[in-house]
Structure 1
């Protein structure tokens, strides 16, 4: 069935418009609360948020929704998405909620839901909740209305947990690290965790005011981090996004290291120590062909999933993999977290840097990416990919790239956009193919 609320990663939209209003948030709380009220125990939900202004409104609306159907609420305040997944399991909650629009600017917000196991919801759970959102809600009798409370030790619990991802003897005393927290959810916990392990930490993007999340800082705006790393003579720069579930690194020269390179490094080091399971890693269809070739050169495999870290996670669990992620910086280390965790991934990268004795630029550029081009085509309605001419152009492009590259064409899960990506050894060919398909999609739209 067509989805009205849920996209690739929860529910997301412009604040006070469409699906992202207080009324809808309250209904989401009611529908999701009822969906996870199984058994006769006192039910509870953990709610966290990032630092955007509308978080207060959305939090209050969700609390009203959950308590109105009889579920108790535990509020943590600003915390990374993976921290909410962790606390949901640790506190034996029936579900968890993260209020965040991830890497988007403050005008947007979103709602991410976790089941009692700390994993993001399946398609089946999302469809069931979606069907109930606009229906008549069964409210709790007055004596069974839920309670709400805030907890003060959530940050400390998370910092302790992420530090367990590196060995007890690992210390970062020799490192100078610039940490960019995007004025987002990890603005306190990420610098603290790295500092507690001994590094000299220079923190930027740690002064949220409600409207500056992801604004010129964070994993999607690297200029400030690159400049600071070079200015300070730092060993490495760490960039998180607004809810800190993704990581991008900058080496000591100010060069970007994306999620593909990070996954390659982590998987290779784990394989050397006999810790890698599944015989490789899981990435998405958007990861560079260079990563696939590198993994093959190491005797390891690359499995591909649909775009979205929850689809990566589903394939990881099905195939017994403990490393996976996305080129955009979601790195899932299943031994330590149930979702992408930028801080945990950063600690693993820093540990590898210390053990290797190499500079970041020497350690982390493990393969040369092949030329890759992604373009977006916006459309007003209809189904351009079902057009006969578009299908014919795509078929021609696939034949042209066969054996020499890849083609990925998909509609966005969050906006009316067709994403056209091609990659291959011939950069000019890649550009021609993408432009030809984009022109056909525009004509059809």
Structure 2
């Protein structure tokens, strides 16, 4: 018997009708790159705890996705929605790949683009957009994740120089970065500094034994009296609003990216259920299976509609940064639920790297935590609704 051709979950919702041809073409180009360059290798990279980040950065630079939503300095200047859909396709490959692009473009490059001097922009942004130089973003510390205002890293003046001392933790790209954007406490408040690789006193040991984001470079940054010239400071950022604005850029990409991982899980599971025979019938023909698939398709579609709405507002310049919390909370919470349900439908096959589902599920445990935990985003939404801050 010939089975009817199933409708992909997002085609059924009709989200393609909400973006223009140019954006769809760009999304298709990123999808082709992921299909060709990432999918055949990512399970092995994940198992080995390795990512060929430098090679991939150059290829991603050629593709035009590094800092793609920024203008000038070799950046593509695309819409926010196009950037979001690129993140969707990248994370459908692996969260580690999207993290590489997010940290490069939305954290390190964005910090320089928005807060840097013209000399700093000229020195770093064209090379970073091309993937010739890699950046990282040093804000989080071991004891200060959700509360970065408590950071212990300090920068003190010594003559005409700055001297930085402290430790940053969970830094994507840290041990391979050519430049680190490091945030430190000074007598004038929190400021950002550009710390080049090889600076005396800077070390970046890689964090190993991870069970999530294994195909990603994660490091500490240890700053032991790192001496920098006065012009290493980002002149346009003063206070915690600087790094937090960068985090908002990265969170926006996660709104779309997490849904990419969920979509890959759901499409994989639908295909598996249609081919898997159970008591002489396809697994997909059972009501219990269809009820689960229908619920997952519904949540995925709703998540994409919210993401595209937020993208449209960002492109129109009307997006309130607190609205990003709606998207980040919803996308990651639903994505991890979808990944877990898909794993269950696949049964024993779902725990192997022969299928991408367990890899996405494990990765999403990290995505659930970084760029603001679910609880932090719930409290941001709660503050909007009630007018009361309940963070303490």
Report the TM-score when normalising by structure 1: 0.24
Structure in which a larger fraction of residues adopt strand: 1
Identify which of structures 1 and 2 has the higher relative contact order when contacts are C-alpha pairs closer than 8 Å and 6+ apart.
2
Report the TM-score when normalising by structure 2: 0.26
